[in-house]
Amino acid sequence: MTKKERAELIVSRLAELYPDAHCELDFSNPLELLVATILSAQCTDKQVNKVTPALFAAFPTAADYARATQEEVENYVKTTGFFRNKAKNIRAAAHDIVERFGGEVPRTLVELVSLAGVGRKTANVVLGNAFGLDEGVVVDTHVMRLSRRLGLTRKSDPEKIEVELIKLIPRRQWTVFSHWLIWHGRRVCPARTPRCEVCVLADVCPSARKLAAVAG
Protein backbone atom coordinates (compact mmCIF):
# COMPACT_ATOMS: atom_id res chain seq x y z
CA MET A 1 0.00 0.00 0.00
CA THR A 2 1.37 3.41 -0.96
CA LYS A 3 1.28 6.36 1.41
CA LYS A 4 -1.33 8.00 -0.81
CA GLU A 5 -3.54 4.91 -0.70
CA ARG A 6 -3.20 4.73 3.08
CA ALA A 7 -4.16 8.39 3.36
CA GLU A 8 -7.28 7.81 1.25
CA LEU A 9 -8.37 4.95 3.51
CA ILE A 10 -7.72 7.01 6.63
CA VAL A 11 -9.75 9.93 5.27
CA SER A 12 -12.64 7.66 4.30
CA ARG A 13 -12.82 5.87 7.65
CA LEU A 14 -12.40 8.95 9.85
CA ALA A 15 -15.02 10.83 7.83
CA GLU A 16 -17.48 8.04 8.56
CA LEU A 17 -16.47 7.77 12.22
CA TYR A 18 -16.56 11.51 12.97
CA PRO A 19 -19.17 13.10 10.67
CA ASP A 20 -19.66 15.97 13.13
CA ALA A 21 -15.99 16.73 13.84
CA HIS A 22 -15.42 20.43 14.45
CA CYS A 23 -13.24 22.90 16.30
CA GLU A 24 -13.87 22.39 20.02
CA LEU A 25 -12.93 25.95 20.97
CA ASP A 26 -16.03 28.06 21.58
CA PHE A 27 -16.26 31.21 19.43
CA SER A 28 -18.79 33.33 17.57
CA ASN A 29 -16.53 35.42 15.33
CA PRO A 30 -12.97 35.42 13.90
CA LEU A 31 -11.52 37.61 16.68
CA GLU A 32 -12.84 35.28 19.38
CA LEU A 33 -11.34 32.26 17.62
CA LEU A 34 -8.00 34.02 17.18
CA VAL A 35 -7.87 34.85 20.90
CA ALA A 36 -9.03 31.37 21.95
CA THR A 37 -6.41 29.73 19.73
CA ILE A 38 -3.64 31.85 21.23
CA LEU A 39 -4.84 30.79 24.69
CA SER A 40 -4.98 27.11 23.69
CA ALA A 41 -1.20 26.76 23.39
CA GLN A 42 -0.16 24.14 25.97
CA CYS A 43 -3.67 24.27 27.44
CA THR A 44 -6.77 22.16 26.89
CA ASP A 45 -9.69 23.45 24.85
CA LYS A 46 -11.92 22.68 27.81
CA GLN A 47 -9.96 25.02 30.07
CA VAL A 48 -9.86 27.75 27.43
CA ASN A 49 -13.64 27.49 27.05
CA LYS A 50 -14.02 28.10 30.79
CA VAL A 51 -12.28 31.47 30.67
CA THR A 52 -13.34 32.88 27.31
CA PRO A 53 -17.00 33.78 28.05
CA ALA A 54 -15.95 36.42 30.59
CA LEU A 55 -12.96 37.47 28.47
CA PHE A 56 -15.05 37.93 25.32
CA ALA A 57 -17.68 39.85 27.25
CA ALA A 58 -15.06 42.21 28.67
CA PHE A 59 -13.24 42.76 25.36
CA PRO A 60 -15.70 42.39 22.45
CA THR A 61 -13.52 44.15 19.86
CA ALA A 62 -9.86 44.29 18.89
CA ALA A 63 -9.81 47.93 20.01
CA ASP A 64 -10.91 46.83 23.50
CA TYR A 65 -7.95 44.46 23.79
CA ALA A 66 -5.58 47.07 22.36
CA ARG A 67 -6.69 49.63 24.96
CA ALA A 68 -6.54 47.19 27.87
CA THR A 69 -3.61 47.01 30.22
CA GLN A 70 -1.48 43.91 30.49
CA GLU A 71 -2.83 43.26 33.98
CA GLU A 72 -6.45 43.58 32.89
CA VAL A 73 -6.09 40.87 30.26
CA GLU A 74 -3.94 38.67 32.52
CA ASN A 75 -6.65 38.61 35.16
CA TYR A 76 -8.99 36.81 32.75
CA VAL A 77 -6.52 34.24 31.39
CA LYS A 78 -4.43 33.22 34.41
CA THR A 79 -5.65 29.61 34.42
CA THR A 80 -4.54 28.91 30.83
CA GLY A 81 -0.82 28.70 31.60
CA PHE A 82 1.93 31.04 30.37
CA PHE A 83 -0.72 33.70 30.84
CA ARG A 84 1.61 36.70 30.84
CA ASN A 85 2.99 35.88 27.41
CA LYS A 86 -0.48 35.01 26.08
CA ALA A 87 -1.93 38.29 27.33
CA LYS A 88 0.96 40.15 25.75
CA ASN A 89 0.44 38.41 22.41
CA ILE A 90 -3.32 39.01 22.43
CA ARG A 91 -2.87 42.72 23.10
CA ALA A 92 -0.12 43.04 20.47
CA ALA A 93 -2.14 41.16 17.83
CA ALA A 94 -5.18 43.31 18.60
CA HIS A 95 -3.09 46.45 18.22
CA ASP A 96 -1.91 45.24 14.80
CA ILE A 97 -5.51 44.44 13.79
CA VAL A 98 -6.65 47.94 14.76
CA GLU A 99 -3.70 49.81 13.25
CA ARG A 100 -3.24 47.82 10.04
CA PHE A 101 -6.54 46.10 9.27
CA GLY A 102 -9.24 48.51 10.36
CA GLY A 103 -10.17 46.48 13.42
CA GLU A 104 -11.08 43.35 11.42
CA VAL A 105 -9.19 40.05 11.57
CA PRO A 106 -7.47 39.61 8.18
CA ARG A 107 -8.49 36.75 5.87
CA THR A 108 -5.14 35.69 4.36
CA LEU A 109 -2.36 33.53 5.70
CA VAL A 110 0.32 36.10 4.96
CA GLU A 111 -1.56 38.83 6.83
CA LEU A 112 -2.46 36.63 9.79
CA VAL A 113 1.09 35.41 10.42
CA SER A 114 2.25 39.03 10.30
CA LEU A 115 0.28 39.66 13.51
CA ALA A 116 2.28 39.66 16.73
CA GLY A 117 2.20 36.25 18.39
CA VAL A 118 0.42 34.50 15.50
CA GLY A 119 2.09 31.54 13.80
CA ARG A 120 1.06 29.34 10.92
CA LYS A 121 -0.92 26.91 13.08
CA THR A 122 -3.04 29.66 14.63
CA ALA A 123 -3.55 31.26 11.22
CA ASN A 124 -4.73 27.96 9.74
CA VAL A 125 -7.18 27.48 12.62
CA VAL A 126 -8.72 30.90 12.03
CA LEU A 127 -8.83 30.62 8.24
CA GLY A 128 -10.31 27.14 8.22
CA ASN A 129 -12.83 27.50 11.03
CA ALA A 130 -13.81 31.18 11.10
CA PHE A 131 -13.64 31.90 7.36
CA GLY A 132 -14.10 28.44 5.82
CA LEU A 133 -10.85 28.77 3.86
CA ASP A 134 -8.67 25.66 3.42
CA GLU A 135 -5.25 27.28 3.23
CA GLY A 136 -3.32 24.65 5.19
CA VAL A 137 -3.46 21.77 7.65
CA VAL A 138 -3.43 22.59 11.35
CA VAL A 139 -0.59 20.58 12.90
CA ASP A 140 -1.00 20.43 16.67
CA THR A 141 0.36 17.75 19.03
CA HIS A 142 -2.42 15.28 18.15
CA VAL A 143 -1.95 15.73 14.40
CA MET A 144 1.82 15.39 14.80
CA ARG A 145 1.49 12.19 16.81
CA LEU A 146 -1.14 10.48 14.67
CA SER A 147 0.31 11.44 11.30
CA ARG A 148 3.60 9.87 12.39
CA ARG A 149 1.98 6.78 13.92
CA LEU A 150 -0.11 6.27 10.79
CA GLY A 151 2.95 6.41 8.58
CA LEU A 152 1.94 9.58 6.75
CA THR A 153 5.19 11.30 7.67
CA ARG A 154 8.47 10.73 9.47
CA LYS A 155 9.05 14.43 10.07
CA SER A 156 8.98 15.97 13.54
CA ASP A 157 8.78 19.66 12.55
CA PRO A 158 5.14 20.86 12.30
CA GLU A 159 5.67 22.87 9.11
CA LYS A 160 7.41 19.97 7.38
CA ILE A 161 4.60 17.64 8.48
CA GLU A 162 2.08 20.08 7.04
CA VAL A 163 3.91 20.11 3.70
CA GLU A 164 3.66 16.31 3.51
CA LEU A 165 0.01 16.19 4.58
CA ILE A 166 -1.17 18.73 2.01
CA LYS A 167 0.29 16.49 -0.68
CA LEU A 168 -1.73 13.52 0.59
CA ILE A 169 -5.05 15.08 1.60
CA PRO A 170 -7.50 16.76 -0.82
CA ARG A 171 -7.54 20.51 -0.26
CA ARG A 172 -11.27 20.61 0.51
CA GLN A 173 -10.55 18.35 3.51
CA TRP A 174 -7.49 20.09 4.94
CA THR A 175 -9.38 21.75 7.79
CA VAL A 176 -11.63 18.82 8.71
CA PHE A 177 -8.74 16.35 8.43
CA SER A 178 -7.10 18.08 11.39
CA HIS A 179 -10.34 17.79 13.35
CA TRP A 180 -10.59 14.09 12.53
CA LEU A 181 -7.07 13.41 13.81
CA ILE A 182 -7.58 15.58 16.89
CA TRP A 183 -10.86 13.84 17.75
CA HIS A 184 -9.32 10.42 17.14
CA GLY A 185 -6.26 11.32 19.19
CA ARG A 186 -8.38 12.39 22.14
CA ARG A 187 -10.84 9.50 21.98
CA VAL A 188 -8.87 6.49 20.70
CA CYS A 189 -5.18 7.21 20.19
CA PRO A 190 -3.75 9.16 23.15
CA ALA A 191 -0.01 9.49 23.55
CA ARG A 192 0.59 6.89 26.25
CA THR A 193 -2.17 4.29 25.85
CA PRO A 194 -3.38 3.96 22.26
CA ARG A 195 -6.48 1.77 22.08
CA CYS A 196 -5.48 -0.16 18.98
CA GLU A 197 -7.94 -2.97 19.78
CA VAL A 198 -10.90 -0.67 19.02
CA CYS A 199 -9.29 1.54 16.35
CA VAL A 200 -10.83 1.56 12.87
CA LEU A 201 -7.39 2.33 11.46
CA ALA A 202 -5.48 -0.50 13.15
CA ASP A 203 -5.14 -2.60 10.00
CA VAL A 204 -3.51 0.25 8.05
CA CYS A 205 -1.48 1.68 10.93
CA PRO A 206 2.23 0.71 11.04
CA SER A 207 2.41 1.55 14.76
CA ALA A 208 -0.55 -0.71 15.59
CA ARG A 209 1.12 -3.59 13.76
CA LYS A 210 4.35 -3.02 15.69
CA LEU A 211 2.50 -2.97 19.01
CA ALA A 212 0.63 -6.14 18.08
CA ALA A 213 3.88 -7.86 17.16
CA VAL A 214 5.45 -6.90 20.50
CA ALA A 215 2.37 -8.08 22.39
CA GLY A 216 2.34 -11.32 20.45
Which residues are tagged catalytic? 121, 140
Nearest to 126 by CA among 204, 56, 38, 213: 38
Q: Give the C-alpha separation, 50 to 64, whole Å.
A: 20
CB–CB of 94/74 below 8 Å? Answer: no
DSSP 103: T
Nearest to 34 by CA among 136, 139, 118, 133: 118
Check residue 29 and report its DSSP letter. S
